[in-house]
A = this chain, B = another copy of it.
Amino acid sequence: MSSIEFEIVEHIGVLSENAKGWRREVNLISWNGRAPKYDIRDWAPNNEKMGKGITLTEEEFKKIAELAK
């Protein structure tokens, strides 16, 4: 078994929540002790399990905001 260490450095916000209580969240996460990155991902209640998601640099994250205007 391999393991991935991660630390949720900042909870930025919740995009949505489904009927089972999983939330699609935006967080600032440090993976394996590296510098934190922006992360859009589905999470079970209390961040106990994680689903699929995407990790973004700060530049990419800010660019999305421009595109969504």
Contacts and interface: CB of A to CB of B under 8 A. Distances in A.
Interface residues of A, number: 24
Given A52-B54, A54-B52, A54-B53, A68 B59 contact: no
B16 A64 contact: no
Contacts of A15: 56, 59-60, 63-64
Contact of A62 (B40, B54, B68): B68
A21 interface: no
A9 interface: no
A65 interface: yes
Nearest 5 interchain pairs by C-beta = A65-B68, A15-B60, A13-B67, A65-B65, A54-B54
